[in-house]
Structure 1
């Protein structure tokens, strides 16, 4: 599944590509800044953390 990272007014939003309900919450100024393919939400989060240079993702 493809996941997308959006930047919108200095905030980040991350959701599956088919998350139309989330996309509707973005402002017209939002821009797609990164995307990845992952088998699960946890894998997508781990990839996002790595991409952003954050500490490794720890699932709840």
Structure 2
């Protein structure tokens, strides 16, 4: 099921952990990490929201 809230939350946490470990320096790098993590399991809007949220945390 696409965009199951529990699955989206799980993917978000996994992507955030990966980004924290890698310490990306650009939003494109965060986007790449999220893309690999979500593997087309979320729609574009959800994907962008996850990228924006993680970028706000790791690119400070």
TM-score, normalised to structure 2, is: 0.33
Structure with more contact order per residue of length (Cα contacts < 8 Å, sep ≥ 6)? 2
Larger helix percent: 2
Who wins on radius of gyration, i.e. which is larger? 1
TM-score, normalised to structure 1, is: 0.33
Larger strand percent: 1
